[in-house]
Amino acid sequence: MNTPRIEINLSKIQKNSEYLVQKLKKKGISTIGVTKAVCGDPAIALAIISGGVTGLADSRIENVTRMREAGIISDITMIRTPMKGQIQLIVDSCDFSYNTEISVIEALAYNALKKGKIHNIVLMVEMGDLREGIMPNDLEEYFKRIVQIPGINIAGIGTNFACLNKTAPNQKSMSLFSKIIDRLKSKYEANIKIISGGNSASLSWVFSNNNLNQINELRLGESILLGSDPISGNPVQGLYTDAFTLISEVIESKKKPEFRKTSSAKTNSTYFKENDQVILAIGNQDTDANSLVFPNGFTFVGATSDHLVLNTSNLKVKIGAECRMKMNYNSLMKIMNSPTVEKKYL
Ligand SMILES: *Cc1c(COP(=O)(O)O)cnc(C)c1O
């Protein structure tokens, strides 16, 4: 079999999706599956859908197009505020888009009306991640202006946590978020259907709280795909953490002196340590090599664009042997985007 390749266990992804969908349903929360880490891979998207999610979401229109061309007809939400050149495509192929800028919403409206459509948007509110979002104090002003725009329906209000800054949602931020929405709803008699409370980083807050206020949706990528919590990296109980395995080939195996950055005369003359070292044929061009998880007995030394160097306690590694590795979110998303890594579905 060819290397490097990534083995993708679709049934584990489906089971993760189903487990989270069912568990959240009991809390009155619907689940959106986020496909950006796998570049909108249609087979994976279908596995997530068969777990029972109410829709998919992605941050790149190219990924959405890929899924639409593969025949996926589920609702798809664009979760990054649209770029100017992609407005028409987003109106055509996405059922919802996340927005924070009036000029972009006006452009969406113009393009929607041209097609005789109403485009659904979710307004994002900044609740502490300091990435995208309208500041909470400005939301009402935005809301008042946007409800006037023909061609646009404010379908929801959303917030996001722990993407840029590793701040988890807590009772304080979540009840503030709900309070803001309460106010809009009562003051403007607004029918805001979707209250989207965050991503995989919100799961522990949701599972450990009985009062979820207004929240009725989460958007999940990492937990469905990797079974892990984005903040701690720890496994989420009940989920498979091994749906993806990266396989690379050993192309060199030799004893090498240990690398020293500072060659002081003393260390050079007295002691020269040797290590058993192997090289795998993969590198930083394909993935975030530093964050791969190696088998027992292998430790990461370094990586360049196409070589990954490991120390090993076991020199009986044969040339051509396969090394199986687990990935975190960063290494997975780059592997999925690498055209030279074969995708093998199990
Ligand atoms: C990436 C992203 C998600 C999914 O995050 P995970 O940590 O993978 O669950 C949800 N919402 C937004 C806005 C995102 O950008």
Q: What does the domain layout of the chain look like in residue ranges?
A: 10-226, 244-345
Q: Are 277 and 256 in contact (CB under 8 A)?
A: yes
For ligand 1, the distance from its centroid to the CA atom of residue 15, given in whole angstroms, is: 19
Contacts (Cβ under 8 Å, ≥6 apart) of 141: none
Q: Which pLDDT does position 265 carry in this prediction?
A: 54
How far does residue 244's CA lie from ligand 1's centre (Å)?
Answer: 19
Expressed in angstroms and rounded, the spacing between residue 295 Cα and the centre of ligand 1 is 29
What angle do the packed helices 171-188 and 139-146 form, to 10 degrees?
40
Share of the chain above pLDDT 90, in %: 83
Does any ligand 1 atom lie closer than 6 A to the CB of residue 160?
yes
Residue nearest to atom 10 of ligand 1 (CA): 199
Those residues with Cβ within 8 angstroms of residue 33's Cβ, 6 or more apart along the chain or in another chain? 17, 45, 48, 49, 51, 53, 55, 56, 57, 220, 221, 224
Strands (E), 53-191: 55-58, 76-78, 96-99, 119-125, 152-159
Low-confidence ranges of the chain (pLDDT < 70): 260-272, 314-315
Ligand 1 pocket residue status of 200, Cβ below 6 Å: yes
Testing ligand 1's pocket by substitution, the residue of 20, 34, 100 carrying the most ligand atoms inside 8 A of its CB is 34
CATH of domain 244-345: 2.40.30
Query: Torsion over CA of 189, 193, 198 and 204, rounded to 10 degrees?
Result: 100
CB burial string 6-45: b at 16+ within 10 A, e below: bbbbbebbbbbbbbbbebbeeeebbbbbbbbbbbbbbebb
Q: Where is 87: in which H helix or E strand?
A: helix 87-93
34 CA closest ligand 1 atom index: 4
Q: What pLDDT sits at residue 141?
A: 96
Q: Which CATH architecture has domain 10-226?
A: Alpha-Beta Barrel (3.20)
Q: Is 156 in the pocket of ligand 1 (CB under 6 A)?
A: no
Residue 41: its pLDDT value, please? 98
Question: Ligand 1 center to residue 199 CA distance, Å?
Answer: 5
**222 Cβ closer than 6 Å to some ligand 1 atom:** yes
Q: For position 128, what pLDDT does the model report? A: 85
Asked whether 48 lines ligand 1 (CB < 6 A), one says no
Predicted pLDDT of residue 162: 82
Q: What is the pTM of this model?
A: 0.94
pLDDT score recorded for residue 304: 97
pLDDT of residue 165: 83
What is the pLDDT, as a whole number, of residue 200?
97
**Identical fold, 10-226 and 244-345:** no
Measuring from atom 7 of ligand 1, which residue has the nearest CA? 200
DSSP state of 70: T
